[in-house]
Chain A
């Protein structure tokens, strides 16, 4: 007799167990709501769990109430209660309440959009002459198209467009915005061009070892300096050509135009400068290391406001009589160097995360220092610190508002000066324009933030480790 105990476990499945839809708490909207909101406040199995669930519930309601109230207040101010038009052209009275002599109900509180619309040109372009605005618009449009082209990966010729955006576009923007035709003498530029060529040749010779072995190590660097020299002066040469555009002094620039010019120049220049400084600080050459460290620590040690003050007030005092740099240019250089120092430290963090084996692997195959950096180390280091880099970009973008203290009317400065206009004076005048400016800043910063997250995801996916 086969023992009955064993038989007890005998089992053969004759029908498949049915595949059932998940319970409401697992999938779909209800599942999301359950896991993200209600699960934390649904456990009353013990006293401790009950207290926790209850406090979670109370906290959620409170946050919902206050957050909701804030958001509703903002939407109400900007949309529901806002005044959108001023058909009668009565300006400030369009945004006055009954008590103030206007038509709006007593206690009314909403955005005065006709005011912002009326000041639109000033907020975006400052005092830039109205008949020349097409130049700014064209610069902006080309910039936008180029940027989108480079950022979207599916488009062809991205590399070429990117190269043009970094070389031709700044030149074009400079000529369009200022009008070019700087009064530099071509003879003067010619001399500098020849000097640039001479430096490049010296670098070449040095690299081949004609000038001794110690010199050969610096050949690349000397050649690079020569190229910078040559390109800088070639640009000066082109900028001196008369294109028949009316010159517009940077004192007439303002608003979003200034904000974007300062931010984009700072962003575009700080990355390569920061890379060079970070490499310098980790270099084995004591001089390069010392100079980079001093530079970085100096610029990180002083506030941006001080930098801007020094640039616009102190610098002219040290200049010889008659030499006068443009105020905007001085502020630009200040912002550029300042952000380069921060960028350098972010990038240095990325460089430190790279394993020593990567350098050795590259060196053992015969790659030179610059090849190793460009092809092996930097692509990895920069990927590691994308969040830090974008953080610096966003910080820089918002710090551009500080240029208003040296008399440059950026977006915020322009907004502030519109408030002084009595023809639009009302109790919501300041608030309306500030909300508008905040919205503009948010759009730019949020876009940068999203793109960086997209890049991080993309890069981490393609390498999957």
Chain B
């Protein structure tokens, strides 16, 4: 793909995330089954799969929004366990963007973006605002800084959510179906922002059904079904030559219509 060449190829050997034999249950339901995954710095991974296959749960385990019961997860060499200090440290370096934005409605856009830098990174207010305006400019909505989230469109809100995460200057971004709650005409503006982010070399793991996005920026696509990683490959090979029957079925369902 022509656009693919634009993306800086900066994948290093440095391991960012390693998941070993991770298992998780919701009650008696085995939601993650023997997950093994290694992510290197600079990688852009797209996770897809039918609903209920555990994709969201997997990335939510990476910043402890969900607790895994078995196996080990290391993020930047720090193990995720019950130690709150470890979790705080990991969350500081891992940004997350949600399906429903989860902006804080009682704060302005600017306050949304400066909240964590001021309270978690302990930056002075002026500096935090400077950083926030820089990232708001990058997602192309600096003029909305003093409005409240309720006054913005869905696409604008999601771009604010991305800027808000970036203000913490994370080393890894997690996207949990960032375009699923958006009206069709707004999906593109959010995807464009994500593509730009990828082109700047940000490591990211993205749960999405946007296969165009996967082809364009991902260097690896992971297919999950029933809590397991069924297949992973480079996007070209994954889309053109899927190996597993389940992958073929899934791809035929989402691509042919």
Contacts and interface: CB of A to CB of B under 8 A. Distances in A.
Contacts of B257: none
B155 interface: no
B104 A364 contact: no
Contacts of A365: 91, 95, 115-116, 120, 164-165, 168
B106 A463 contact: yes
A265 interface: no
A85 interface: no
A216 interface: yes
A417 interface: no
B10 interface: no
Residue among A216, A355, A362, A462 with most chain B CB within 10 A: A362
A48 interface: no
A361 B103 contact: yes
A383 B106 CA distance: 9
B95 A213 contact: no
A464 B152 CA distance: 11
Given A361-B103, A365-B164, A379-B106, A465 B150 contact: yes
Nearest to B83: A213
Contacts of A216: 84-85
A358 interface: yes
B168 A360 contact: no
B82 interface: yes
Given A357-B98, A358-B104, A366 B116 contact: yes
Contacts of B120: 365-367, 371
B140 interface: no
Residue among A361, A362, A367, A371 with most chain B CB within 10 A: A361
Interface string B146-186: 00111100000000000011001000000000000000000
Given A364-B91, A380-B105, A462 B116 contact: no
Interface in B77-107: 82-85, 88, 91-92, 94-96, 98, 100-106
Contacts of A197: none
A376 interface: yes
Given A364-B91, A365-B165, A463-B148, A358 B119 contact: no
B98 A361 contact: yes
Contacts of A209: 85
A364 B88 contact: no
Contacts of B148: 462-465
A96 to B, nearest CB: 62
Contact of B84 (A213, A357, A358, A371): A213
B37 interface: no
Nearest to B120: A366
Given A213-B82, A371-B119, A376-B104, A360 B65 contact: yes
Contacts of A376: 104, 115
29 contacts: A217-B84, A357-B101, A358-B104, A360-B65, A361-B102, A363-B63, A363-B91, A364-B65, A364-B95, A364-B96, A364-B165, A365-B91, A365-B115, A366-B88, A366-B92, A366-B116, A366-B120, A367-B115, A367-B120, A368-B88, A375-B115, A376-B104, A376-B115, A383-B106, A463-B106, A463-B148, A464-B148, A465-B105, A465-B149
Given A365-B165, A379-B106, A464-B148, 17 more contacts: A213-B82, A213-B85, A355-B102, A358-B102, A361-B103, A361-B104, A364-B91, A364-B94, A371-B120, A376-B104, A380-B105, A463-B106, A463-B148, A464-B150, A465-B149, A465-B150, A465-B151
Interface of A: 209, 213, 216-217, 355, 357-358, 360-368, 371, 375-376, 379-380, 383, 462-465
